[in-house]
Amino acid sequence: MSNDDYTPPKVWTWDKESGGHWAGVNRPIAGPTHEQTLPVGDQPIQLYSLGTPNGIKITVMLEELLAIGKTDAAYDLHRIDIGKGEQFGSGFVELNPNSKIPVILDQSKSPAQSVFESCAILFYLAEKHAALLPRDARDRTECLSWLFWQESSASFLGGGFGHFYKYAPYPMEYPINRYAMETKRQLDVLNRHLADREYMCASGYSIADIAIWPWYGRLALGEVYDAAEFLDTASYENVQRWAKLVQARQGVQAGLAAAR
Ligand SMILES: N[C@@H](CCC(=O)N[C@@H](CS)C(=O)NCC(=O)O)C(=O)O
C-alpha cells in the first residue's frame, strides 16, 4: 500500500485489512454486534463514556453543575472501551443507535431519558438545570451558534486531521495537508473571535466553552494528537489565553480527572 497506487473500484467493498489504529472496530454497517447489558448505578445520571474529547465534555459539564450545587447532576461513569467494540453491544446501541460515546441515561425522569450526541447532552443538562446557557434570547442564540459550530467543525479535526496525522497506517501528504489547512483555519476563527472576549460567548462561561475546549483548547495546549508544534498552535495567542483560563477551572480539572 502506498500513496499513489490506488484506483477506486467500480463498487466499494469493505477491506477489513485496510490498517490504521481503528481498523479492528470500524465497519460500514450499524446495529449491535453482540448482546451486552449495560451496568446501571444509583445516581440520577448514568454516563456511558470514555476520556476522549467528546467524553470529557460531559464529565466537565456534570462537575461544573455539581460545583454550583446541582446535586441532581450526580453521576455514575461507566467506561465504554471503544477499542474493544463495546459501543456495539446491544444495551449501548439501544441508548445510541449511532454507537458512539458519550451517552447519558437520566434516571430522575420517568421513564428514564436517554440522550446521545455530546452537544445534545450539554444542551439537555443546561436546560434541565437552567445553568451554563444564557436565558436572554440574543445571548442564547450566540451560544447555540458556537455549540453547533463545534459539532460540525470537530469532524474535520478528529475524523480528518487527527485520523490522518495520528491514526492512519502510514503518512499521506494530501489528506494531512487538506485537514491541517482546515484545522488551522478553524483555530484562526477562534483566535479572531476570542480577541475581544474572555469566553466564547459575550455572556460568560457556557456550554459553548465546554464543547469547544476539549478539542481546540487541548489541541492548542498540545494535549490532543501531539500536534501543537506541527500546527504552530502557540501562534494563536487568544486561543492560548482562553484555553489556559478554561483549563484552570475547578470543574474542568474535576471533569478531566473523572474522565481519565
Ligand atoms: N458527534 C458525536 C461524536 C461522538 C464520537 O465520535 N465518539 C467517538 C469517541 S470520541 C466514538 O465513540 N467512536 C467509536 C466508533 O467510532 O466506533 C458526539 O459529539 O457525541
Instruction: Report the distance separating Cα 232 and Cα 21, nearest Å.
Output: 25
CA distances from 228 to 70, 177, 189, 218, 219 (A): 36, 15, 17, 9, 6
Ligand 1 mean position to 4 CA, how many Å?
A: 30
Residue nearest to atom 6 of ligand 1 (CA): 100
pLDDT of residue 156: 97
- What is 137-249's CATH number, 1.20.1050.10, 3.90.960.10, 3.20.20.80, 3.40.50.2300? 1.20.1050.10
Mutating to test ligand 1, I would choose from 26, 88, 101 the residue with most ligand atoms within 8 A of its C-beta, which is 101
Per-residue pLDDT of the chain (260 residues; tens, 9 = 90+): 455 688 999 999 998 777 788 877 889 999 999 999 999 999 999 999 999 999 999 999 999 999 999 999 999 999 999 999 999 999 999 999 999 999 999 999 999 999 999 999 999 999 999 999 999 999 999 999 999 999 999 999 999 999 999 999 999 999 999 999 999 999 999 999 999 999 999 999 999 999 999 999 999 999 999 999 999 999 999 999 999 999 999 999 999 999 99
Alpha-carbon distances of 52 from 6, 56, 140, rounded to whole Å: 32, 6, 27
Task: State which ligand 1 atom lies nearest to the alpha carbon of 88.
Answer: 17
The rounded Å distance from CA 22 to ligand 1 centre is: 12
pLDDT for 160: 97
| Strands of the 45-49 sheet, one edge to the other | 75-79, 45-49, 103-106, 113-116
CA of 255 to the centre of ligand 1 (A): 18
Give residue 101 CA to ligand 1 midpoint distance, Å: 5
- The set of protein residues with a Cβ atom below 6 angstroms from ligand 1 is 25, 52, 54, 82, 87, 99-102, 117-119, 151
Of 152, 171, 158, 139, nearest in space to 55 by CA = 158
Strands in 96-230 per DSSP E? 103-106, 113-116
Q: Are 194 and 242 in contact (CB under 8 A)?
A: yes
Q: 98: CA distance to ligand 1 center in Å? A: 9
pTM score, two decimals? 0.96
Tell me the C-alpha distance between 182 and 179, whole Å.
5
- The CA dihedral of 128, 133, 139, 144, to the nearest 10 degrees, is -90
* Closest atom, ligand 1, to C-alpha of 53: 10
Ligand 1 atom at shortest distance from the alpha carbon of 116? 20
Centroid of ligand 1 to alpha carbon of 149 (angstroms): 16
pLDDT of residue 3: 56
The pLDDT of residue 94: 98
Which residue has a Cα nearest atom 19 of ligand 1?
118
Cβ proximity of 44 and 70 under 8 Å: no
Residue boundaries of the structural domains of the chain: 137-249
Ligand 1 closest atom vs CA 100: 12
Give the distance, in angstroms, between the CA of residue 44 and the centroid of all CA atoms in the same chain: 22
Measured between alpha carbons, how far is residue 151 from residues 21, 57, 170, 211 in Å?
23, 12, 27, 8
User: How far is Cα 241 from Cα 123, in angstroms, rounded to an integer?
Assistant: 25
